[in-house]
Structure 1
Amino acid sequence: MLHDVPVGSIDELPLGGRKLAFAGGRSIVLFNIDGTVHAIENSCPHNGASLASGRLDGRIIHCPAHGLRFDVTTGCMPGAGGLCLTKLPVDVRDGRLVVTVNDTAAPGTPPA
């Protein structure tokens, strides 16, 4: 089931900035790239390393564990093929950042 989760104010995310947040039980990182907000899960698809502290060059995030590079705007590695990050829909509503998450609880797990 999809849920919209407020994760802060757009004022907390200046141009070129990033913000670590939690939504629907997930650690996510939001980026303001050229005035557009992008959200990714805070986990490298290679080995699960946190991306929150990775070096950001323009719109390319570098995984601090092994140096893999991902385009924050597409979620994928530059060039053809390769791994992709999990991107999440994010909107700015009345100055608030709102991320849409899909609850993926295990079968038989009661909702939180």
Structure 2
Amino acid sequence: MTREVPVGTADDLAPGQRKLVFVDGGSIVLFNIEGQMHAIDNSCPHNGASLASGPLEGYMVRCPAHGLRFDVRSGCMQGAGGLKLTTFPVRAVEGKLLVSVMETPASIQA
């Protein structure tokens, strides 16, 4: 099951900008690319390095640790059979940015 978590306002993220947010003890990087919002896990699936400061070339973010490149739209690494990072649906509702995340036992309240 998923839930939507508010992570700021749409005005916080102009085209070409990124923002690091913290949700349920993890971190997510939001990107505004040409007016479209994208959200990825901040942890590279190769060795856990932070992707928040990785260079962005079009829709491809490069891991600063080892240079692996991932498409922020799909999470897929370039090439067949590569690693994949977690992406999150993100949308603006009434000026607020909402990221959809999976429910975890710790985030479910009785």
TM-score normalised by L of structure 1: 0.88
Gapped regions of structure 2 (runs ≥ 5): none
Residue type at the aligned position of 1:39: A
User: Identity percentage over the alignment?
Assistant: 61
Which residue of the partner structure matches residue 55 of structure 1? Answer: 55
**Aligned partners of 2:101, 2:107: CA distance in 1, in Å?**
17
Whether 1:79 aligns to 2:87 is: no
CA distance in 2, matches of 1:30, 1:15: 11
Q: Structure 1: which 5+ residue stretches go unaligned? A: none
How far has the Cα of 1:111 moved from its partner?
Answer: 4.2
Aligned match of 1:97: 97
Structure 2 CA distance for partners of 1:110 and 1:54, relative to 1, 3 Å? closer
TM-score if structure 2 supplies the norm length? 0.90
RMSD of aligned Cα (Å): 1.6
Q: Give 1:21's aligned residue.
A: 21
Deviation at 1:17, TM superposition (A): 1.0
Q: Which runs of 4+ in 1 moved over 3 A?
A: 109-112
Give the letter aligned to residue 82 of structure 2: G
Cα distance in structure 1, aligned partners of 2:41 and 2:50? 9
The aligned length equals: 109
